[in-house]
Structure 1
């Protein structure tokens, strides 16, 4: 039940010279077949249960575009992170790829002049990238120095999953506010002889799409501001981190140090009553026999908010089939394709003019107006996450004082981004 979006936030190193020889041929040569069909290669990391939805979309494109054939090569994200940078930097590799699940990876590829700008394909109507219909946060994340370098391969928001039976047994209503969530997490945690037999909520802090920033945003806090200056040590953030660190460290509402896979497994095994997660998890939770409730993230002092995630779909600058690759991106993000993909995958569509018919999609789509990306627009986002934020959460949930830890994290973030407050 793992999704590519719930993997570690990191950007792997460039491929060594010995591996470049096997990088593939898409960008480096003319892959038209004898019958005039243009062959496009696409690398993706969509190895999770949502993989069939992506494969179905590619098949639909091929069936309706007889002069273009897209072959999707599905690989682990780490493998793409190892092979793609060197391949694209040397004019090899696939025509198209999802370089990483973190939009911040685009800065790395722009630096090596490896991406094809997409601005000429932007516009209104069929055959164009209708960027005005993408969520604004997505277009902003994919634009560097005024140029658009990717289209959204998908769009997701996080919601609150809960086990209806557990809440009913404990006399707990669906949490609507931040205080409701805190109280529910406490009440739903069960102890027997000092040992936890049921956790109120299953929180992960690493190898996952981040949950903890939502807890800060709910209270009006944040990690960095628009200029890249740290805000993680400001009062609203510290207050939220203190509340949830105490809940984990003292009240035992969630295990310490969970990965995303750990958090999912705990909830699936009916050993936790709640979890914050994305649309990729719904089918697996239902298959586990959970009487599943899906609700918006509770609203705190900071107003309605949740985390959004999107995977960039980009074209290698050296592709020999620019027109066909742009045509594929326009079709992928078009109205018909997104309606089909949303219904099949359970993900919200990547454009705002598509109304999903899959009832599971509704709560995720409803969150799009309030959704925020994690560390958007920062070329150093991966480093901030792995070197500062993940260690911060690990420290405070193990009992380290929150105020000094947050201040230390703020200083480290400012050093990484170059901010001088």
Structure 2
């Protein structure tokens, strides 16, 4: 369940980071550039894509440079922690790169807006030379738009779908994977036994999946007013049902994402919610793998999306060229190339009839979920703390037998304290 855009899941490699003073300070390169020189406009770009899909991102940059002789983008790959330390002050003072993926958490854009560090993207509209915002993943565009202005595009997008072990389902007499949330719970119990868990769930050091379980039951974690919704009866009922499933040993207790992956890879779990990055490893492990949509919930289809924002410095010397790069990056040709190379779905919602993508069954299935995919805690003040200090401890407590109603009250108080909700 690991991926490059979730901090606790990043398998970072040691990369020597450039100092702030050394980036974007040469002529024609970056936000602190001197007088223009002959040759292409040079754009520096910082990213934290240090994982196995790094080559796919680097290949995109190479293709852009080959097809745009008047612009040269240099992608500098650094650990996410390094970017988080260096970029805020660099952009606030007019230094650093022209473009960056500031963080794996989309909510970080709010901090950069406070320091007036982000360029409002105005090169939007129809056509290949524009950022086709209305064709991009709606959950990402909504998160990246503030007061009617767009400040980033999705560098990538991923959705969660239901992985299942065809062999184990067949052995349990199940012809098809579950289609509804009630079937998901029932099938998880049917598939449990003989050393096999029906559903492999992780609750920390992973992309979140418990919110999907709540959404399927019509619940949520934080409302648009910043106040906890966990203490509503609907959410208490939902968490009680899922916690009972865990306590009945139909799902394991307290797994990290890596441990959940290992369980499924070993054929010890029949089903799992996961992203596109896991498919190749499961196939290599010899799993007779199936991928199905997340079962339909009480209010229709829903799943979780994760994305990394790609933004432009407000002080770049080359705003037009930087936005031209964003338009190309999110265009159909680039996204087709990236999807086929990385296994991630394209960031666009209008490529369902693309024959090359349709030929890749895994990519096509994850891409099909984009319209109903939701981000986790979008726009919530203190979202990382809400997750680590309230939500994760809540799931850990109730799956170990603590009273759900009591633990929900504790978690709600913690959430409201973090977000500043007054409770009125």
Same fold (TM over 0.5): yes
Question: Offset at 1:144?
Answer: 2.1
| Aligned 8 A contact 1:27 1:91 in 2 | no
Which of 67, 70, 78 matches 2:70?
Answer: 67
Paired residues for 1:185-224 under 5 Å: 185-191=188-194, 197-224=195-222
1:133-148 paired onto structure 2 within 5 Å: 133-148=135-150
8 Å CA contact 1:3–1:47 kept in 2: the answer is no
Distance 1:67 1:47 in 2: 28
Note closer, same or farther for the CA distance 1:19–1:61 as it changes in structure 2 (3 Å cut).
closer
Match of 1:235? 233
For the Cα contact (< 8 Å) 1:159–1:296, is it kept in 2?
yes
Asked if the contact 2:24–2:98 (Cα under 8 Å) also holds between the matched residues in 1, the reply is no
Instruction: Give the Cα separation in 2 of the matches to 1:61 and 1:28.
Output: 20
Aligned: 1:151 with 2:156: no
Which deviates more, 316-325 or 100-109?
316-325
1:242 deviates by: 0.9
Give the SS at the match of 1:276.
Answer: strand
> Per-residue deviation at 1:381?
1.7
* Cα distance change on mapping 1:145 and 1:386 into 2, 3 Å: farther
For the aligned residues, what is the CA RMSD?
A: 2.3
Partners of 1:185 and 1:6 in 2: CA distance: 27
The answer to whether the aligner puts 1:351 opposite 2:348 as a matched pair is: yes
The 3-state SS of whatever aligns with 1:69 is strand
Equivalent pairs counted in the alignment come to 407
Shift of 1:22: 5.9
Q: How does 1:116-127 map to 2 (within 5 A)?
A: 116-118=119-121, 120-127=122-129
Query: Which residue of the partner structure matches residue 110 of structure 1?
Result: 113
Q: What's 1:13 paired with?
A: none
In the TM superposition, 1:1-400 aligns within 5 A as 2-8=2-8, 20-21=20-21, 25=25, 27-30=30-33, 35-118=38-121, 120-173=122-175, 174-191=177-194, 197-248=195-246, 250-355=247-352, 356=354, 357=357, 358-400=360-402
Distance 1:35 1:21, change over 3 A: closer
- Structure 2, unmatched stretches of 5+, are 11-17
Q: 2:405 aligns with which of 403, 406, 412?
A: 403
Gaps of 5+ in 1: 11-17, 192-196
- Indicate if the aligned counterparts of 1:33 and 1:39 stay in contact, CA closer than 8 A: no
Residue 278 of structure 1: CA displacement?
1.0
Find the aligned partners of 1:244 and 1:394 in 2 and give their Cα distance: 12
CA distance in 2 between counterparts of 1:360 and 1:93 reads 37
TM normalised by structure 1 equals: 0.90
After TM superposition, the score normalised by the length of structure 2 is 0.89
Identify if the C-alpha distance between structure 1 residues 22 and 36 changes in structure 2 by more than 3 Å, giving closer, same or farther.
closer
Give yes or no for contact 1:233–1:410 (8 Å, CA) kept in 2: yes
Is the CA contact (8 Å cut-off) linking 1:152 and 1:312 kept in structure 2?
yes
